[in-house]
C-alpha cells in the first residue's frame, strides 16, 4: 500500500465529531450519577481505588461524529482497570446504549470495542474523536454498525490517554484488561439499561486486533464474570519483533515509534532516556504530540538506529537489560499473542472457551502475515475454536471496511447462540 492509499482510506472517516464540557477529583468508585465535567473524564486520579470495571467518573455525551446512528444514549466514562504489571490504573472510554427495546431474546448484548491505531497524543483518544472530531480515523461506520444492530457499544480508549499520560501502544497486557473492564463498567452506568447477564462480544482491528486478541486470552482468568461469547480480531501485530523489523525504515515507521514510546511509558524502570540522542528526544515529543497521520508523516522512512547515541539496532536494543536483569527483548516477547494458550479444558495459562474470528487482507503490506498465520495454527492445535479469513483482496487499512459485514455476521451468530463452524 502506498502511503497515499493509507491517507485516502483514513480520510474517508475523517469526514464523518465536537464539543465537550468539565469533573471530580478523587477516585470514588461507581458514582451515584453521571454528573462529571468533561475535564474530569481525562483527569488522572491521584490514587485509584475500587475493583476493575468500577466507574470513577461519567457524563452524558453525544457521538456527533459517528454517522447514521439510530436513537441511543451515550456516556463518557473513566473507570478502573489493570495495567500490564497488574497495577490498578484509570482509563477512559465511551458507552452507547440504543434506546429502542431489545427484542431478539435474552438481554441486550454488549460489543466491547478495542480501537484502531489512533496515535499517542492525548487528543487522539477514540472517546474524543467520536465526540469532538475524527482527525484521521475511519472507524465511525463500523461503530454505527454495532449500535444499529441494537447492541450496546463499550469502547475503551485503551490505557494512557488521560491528561499527561502516554498511550501504552500495542501493549495487549494493559489494553486487553481495559477492554474487558469497560464491558463491566457499561453495566454500571447510572441510568443505563444493561443487565448483569449481558453477553459480550469483543472486536478490534490492527492495534485493536492485538488488544482484542489479548482480551480473548485474558477473559477466563481476569474477567470470569463476563459472558464472553466471541472475539473478532483482524490485522493483528501478533509478534512485536516481527512487526518492528518490517516497520523499521518503512513508510509506516511511525507505528514503530508509537510502540517504543508506549513501551517506555509502561516500563519506566528500563533504560531508555540515557540511550537517546537529540533526534531521539525530539522523536519522543513528536510521538506524544501527533495522532495517526501526523505520526506517519513525521517518521516516514525513519530507522531506529538514528535515534540513539550509539546507533543501536533493534537487535542491540533487545539485548539491553533493566535493573532486574530483564531485557527489552524479553518484554517484547512477553507481549506476543499465542503463547501458553489452549481451550477451556486445557492446562494452559490462557484458556479461550469461545469462538475467535481472525482475519486479514490478502494484500496486507504493513505487517508481516506469518505471525498471524501462526497464531491461527496455534489456536487450532491447542483446542481453541477459531476460523481465519485471508481472502479479502485489500490492503491493511481498507480491510477494516471489507471485513465489516463478516464481523457483524460473526457477532449476530454468537449473540444468537448459533453453532460455530471452525476453520481449522
Task: Give pLDDT tens digits along the chain (424 positions).
Answer: 444 444 444 444 433 332 222 233 334 455 668 999 999 999 999 999 999 999 999 999 999 989 899 999 999 999 999 999 999 999 999 999 999 999 999 999 999 999 999 899 888 999 999 998 766 667 888 999 999 999 999 999 999 999 999 999 999 999 999 999 999 999 999 989 999 999 999 999 999 999 999 999 999 999 999 999 999 999 999 999 999 999 999 999 999 999 999 999 999 999 999 999 999 999 999 999 999 999 999 999 999 999 999 999 999 999 999 999 999 999 999 999 999 999 999 999 999 999 999 999 999 999 999 999 999 999 999 999 999 999 999 999 999 999 999 999 999 999 999 999 989 9
pLDDT for 218 equals 98
Q: Looking at beta carbons, which pairs linking 33-37 to residues 24 or more positions away fall under 8 Å?
A: 33/190, 33/191, 34/58, 34/59, 34/60, 34/75, 34/189, 34/190, 34/191, 35/59, 36/78
Q: Yes or no: is domain 3-239+346-415 CATH 3.40.50.1820?
A: yes
All three cell numbers of 396, joined, read 491493511
Coil, strand or helix: which one is 147?
Answer: helix
All three cell numbers of 244, joined, read 518492528
All three cell numbers of 222, joined, read 481476569
Q: How many CB atoms lie within 10 A of CB 419?
A: 7
Give the global pTM.
Answer: 0.93
Beta bridge partners of 204: 114, 233
241-334 folds as 434 Repressor (Amino-terminal Domain) (1.10.260)
Helix (H) or strand (E) holding 280: helix 278-289
Whole-angstrom Cα distance, residue 213 to residue 216?
A: 5
Domain boundaries, the chain: 3-239+346-415, 241-334
Beta bridge partners of 91: 79
**What secondary structure letter does DSSP report for 327?**
B
Coil, strand or helix: which one is 125?
Answer: coil
- The residue with cell 489494553 is 175
Whole-angstrom Cα distance, residue 19 to residue 94?
A: 15
Q: Is the torsion defined by CA of 345, 348, 352, 355 positive or negative? A: negative
List Cβ neighbours of 280 (8 Å cut-off, separation of 6 or more).
307, 308
Q: What are phi and psi of 211, to 5 degrees?
A: -60, -45
Amino acid at each position: 500500500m502506498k502511503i497515499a492509499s493509507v491517507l485516502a482510506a483514513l480520510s474517508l472517516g475523517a469526514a464523518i465529531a465536537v464539543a465537550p464540557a468539565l469533573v471530580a477529583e478523587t477516585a470514588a468508585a461507581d458514582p451515584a450519577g453521571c454528573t462529571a465535567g468533561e475535564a474530569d473524564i481525562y483527569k488522572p486520579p491521584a490514587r485509584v481505588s475500587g475493583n476493575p470495571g468500577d466507574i470513577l467518573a461519567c457524563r452524558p455525551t453525544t457521538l456527533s461524529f459517528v454517522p447514521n446512528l439510530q436513537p441511543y444514549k451515550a456516556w463518557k466514562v473513566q473507570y478502573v482497570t489493570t495495567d500490564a504489571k497488574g497495577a490498578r490504573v484509570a482509563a477512559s472510554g465511551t458507552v452507547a446504549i440504543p434506546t429502542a427495546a431489545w427484542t431478539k431474546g435474552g438481554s441486550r448484548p454488549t460489543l466491547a470495542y478495542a480501537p484502531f491505531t489512533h496515535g499517542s497524543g492525548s487528543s487522539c483518544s477514540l472517546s474524543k474523536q467520536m465526540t469532538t472530531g475524527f482527525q484521521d480515523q475511519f472507524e465511525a461506520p463500523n461503530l454505527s454498525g454495532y449500535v444499529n444492530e441494537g447492541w450496546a457499544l463499550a469502547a475503551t480508549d485503551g490505557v494512557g490517554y488521560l491528561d499527561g499520560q502516554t498511550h501504552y501502544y500495542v501493549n495487549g497486557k494493559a489494553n486487553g484488561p481495559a477492554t474487558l473492564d469497560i464491558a463491566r463498567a457499561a453495566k454500571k452506568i447510572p441510568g443505563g439499561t444493561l443487565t448483569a447477564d449481558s453477553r459480550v462480544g469483543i472486536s478490534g482491528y490492527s492495534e485493536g486486533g492485538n488488544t482484542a486478541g489479548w482480551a480473548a486470552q485474558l477473559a477466563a482468568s481476569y474477567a470470569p464474570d463476563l459472558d464472553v461469547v466471541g472475539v473478532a480480531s483482524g490485522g493483528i501485530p501478533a509478534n512485536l519483533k516481527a512487526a518492528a523489523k518490517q516497520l523499521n525504515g518503512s513508510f509506516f515507521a511511525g507505528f514503530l515509534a508509537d510502540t517504543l514510546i508506549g513501551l517506555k511509558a509502561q516500563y519506566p524502570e528500563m533504560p531508555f532516556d540515557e540511550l537517546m540522542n537529540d533526534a531521539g528526544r525530539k522523536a519522543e515529543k513528536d510521538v506524544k504530540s501527533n495522532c495517526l497521520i501526523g505520526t506517519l508523516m513525521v517518521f516516514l522512512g525513519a530507522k531506529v538506529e538514528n535515534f540513539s547515541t550509539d546507533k543501536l539496532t533493534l537487535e542491540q536494543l533487545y539485548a539491553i537489560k533493566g535493573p532486574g536483569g530483564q531485557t527489552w527483548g524479553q518484554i517484547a516477547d512477553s507481549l506476543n499473542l499465542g503463547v501458553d494458550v489452549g481451550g477451556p479444558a486445557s492446562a494452559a495459562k490462557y484458556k479461550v472457551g469461545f469462538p475467535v474470528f481472525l482475519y486479514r487482507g490478502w494484500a496486507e503490506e504493513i505487517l508481516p502475515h506469518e505471525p498471524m498465520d501462526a497464531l491461527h495454527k496455534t489456536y487450532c492445535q491447542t483446542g481453541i475454536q477459531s476460523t481465519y479469513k485471508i481472502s479479502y483482496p485489500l490492503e491493511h487499512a481498507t480491510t477494516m471496511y471489507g471485513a465489516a459485514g463478516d464481523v457483524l455476521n460473526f457477532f449476530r451468530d454468537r449473540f444468537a447462540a448459533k453453532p460455530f463452524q471452525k476453520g481449522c
